[in-house]
Structure 1
Amino acid sequence: MGVKRSGKNNIDALLGEHYWVDTGKPVSLTYSINYSTGSDGLDFSERSMVREALTRWSEVANITFREVSNKGNLSFYGQSGTGGVASWGSNKLDHVTIKLGKDSATGRGNRFLEVALHEIGHALGLKHPGNYNFETGKGNPPFLPYYQDNNTNTLMSYNDVGEYAATPMPYDIRAVQYLYGAKTFNSGNTNYQFDTVYGHSNGYYAYRGSKTKPMKLSLWDSAGVDTLDFSKLAARSSGYYFDIREGGILTTRDSYNSTTYQPRDNRNDTSSLRYKTTRYGTSIAYGAIIENVVGSSSNDTIIGNNSANNLKGGDGNDRLYGNAGNDYLKGGSGNDYLDGGTGSDRLYGGTGNDNLYGSSGNDTLSGGSGNDYLDGGTGSDYMLGGSGND
């Protein structure tokens, strides 16, 4: 009994020594919330955020939470300030007390929800991924490298930069799924319609906050042939950046890697070190395989994964990268750049002066209208320039 290590650093750097069940087994936990009107009670909005945080964890891993009126396995209280704390007795867990600061704003995209998610993460067996604990304490190895230790990758990080996380992030999901198993969620052929890069709906499930309050969140999808549709996003002069690889992020170009942080380390001097991460957007969880993307009307960068992707740029001057797999890339209108990557790919430039690169594999390249440049790369390729000076 206990916590076995996975051999993957972005999992093991988050695994604590405390546990509810053997690694890989599902768990059912009760929880209680202090309704008191005193300083250690939680008001209606705060209680709603606690329940939402529990739901977000239960959507990604085989964890069941049930509210009880008496003392549960998890007991939630209020406290002064904006931070939180989770405490327990022994490594074999039977009860965890969680105190959440009442001086933070509630609602998605605000600090209270991220702190609740963070402290519940501790209650589920996760630790901080860096060499820090509270204000001056040191952490327990292994650690994430500094460039990965931020709340774009894990909300267990103390490097809380950009906007607040409103769901577990990719490393959190990977670690908690290792502990309890991955939840079957959105397992059909799902179409995700985005109205912002941090808000989407698939027809029967929606997750979004205020359009004026950016946030960070993750998308977990366990199976099916899935499509991310960005055609309804507002036009944006800077354009958008959509990376559908595991751990990739869906954001705006001006948000991507736009925030700088000095990494937290309570035992080493990091004053001369600076790293960048993304300010807001939706990250792709590990194990979530997305097949198709419909781009926006702006200038998009779309990066495919190792599956057979169907990537459509739409309007704007787009850059599409198929990577591995037998992909279909369509630039649409505008002056587009298409790179099929490895595999036998089909590339169609559409209108505009396009650049098409088949790279390796037996590819089909069609320029469409406009003055296009076509390069099949290695392999037996078929190229059709179309109208214009190609």
Structure 2
Amino acid sequence: MMARFSFTVSVLAVLASVGHAWLPSVDDHHAGARKLVDRNGFSLFNDTTFGHEKRWLPASGKIRGVNLGSLFVYEPWIASNTWTNTMQCTGSGYNSEFDCMTKLGAGTGDATFQKHWNTWVTAADFDEMISYGLNTVRIPLGYWMDEGIVYWDSEHFPRGGADVLRTVCGWASDRGMYIILDMHGAPGAQVAQNSFTGQFASSPGFYQDYQFNRATSFLSWLRRFVHDNNEMRNVGMIEVVNEPLQNQGSQTQYMRQTYYPAAYNAIRSTEQSLGITPNNYVHVQFMNTYWGSGNPQQYLSNNYFAAYDDHRYLKWSPDASDVSHAGYLRVSCHDNRSGPDSPTIVGEFSLSVPDNVQWNSDWAPSNNVAFYKQWFAAQVMSYETYAMGWVFWTWKSELGDYRWSYRDAVAAGVIPRDLNSIASSGACNGY
């Protein structure tokens, strides 16, 4: 307990030194800073009145959240049934929103995606999140939500997403939840052949000036959209690009040298033009050094209200080479993700394990509930000790596998409904 409390104090001291950082754990400590509250004026993070109990480990005050995966950036692997039956984009070559819209055409495609947006996540989902003690949502977005920067003659994406985003953020804000908006799909695609970019491009086309300019235009538009709509009032963080190339070659250096400062300045310039005071700035988030694209702070001349995103999938991590229950628990129980970048949030993690073992008897979800329950507890204990908290990937899926679905994991008894119970679970005893 003393170690966790000491770490929290040190984090708050660091944040105080760079300004009145609007993160939920420190929000109400600063006079004049924006408060994170629901429609009744109560905070899930700080109030114990109105039935809202503190929802974090003792002496912590951390983010506990889920990603809304496959909502605005459709990833067919997460929801293949809907992709096939509702979107009708099954078959070879239909790997992304771009592919699906190319097949359906603008009119049919817009209506089809509108139906998906209106059913994949509803207000009832947010009530369920609150009942499980979650206080944060991270919402992946594609740059095409800003319809003014799309090349409609050659880029095929659904229109009308901004109105639905406003509604979804209203549901979260009304319940006092913290909101992270993430540019998941970048212009030109930041990596090749991945549906999370929205394009499944043959090569990454993001790393050039004109695409960087489109991305910064999107960020400016998004920051203004947040400011102009009360439903967006609990947005506290905007991520400038999700999971760029994992190398330190010329493309990622140019991104860090050119795009990162421009992205930061685009958001800050928009805030200044709107008369937003520094204590009400949003955090500008970058993938952290551990991601492997180089030091995100290297070329930033200003890191006021900067934040960092850590994606921690042991499934693909070389430091989890001991693929055993004990090996995974040893790594997770001592997983210091603070690193050189602060404040850091573990913005994506799951309970999935390497493909070559995931359905073996020692790892199959049906007969290893006790292990996955212990491993989930071990992960979040470390992420709340060494980082500002965590956001699970993802809220729901159609995989029939709770290792990728928070809601399914709760139903299976793997994730407790009372997250505070993890503190006394003994998950890391002996590790």
* Structure showing greater relative contact order (alpha-carbon pairs closer than 8 Å, 6 or more residues apart): 2
> Which structure would you say has the larger Rg?
1
Answer yes or no: same fold by TM over 0.5: no
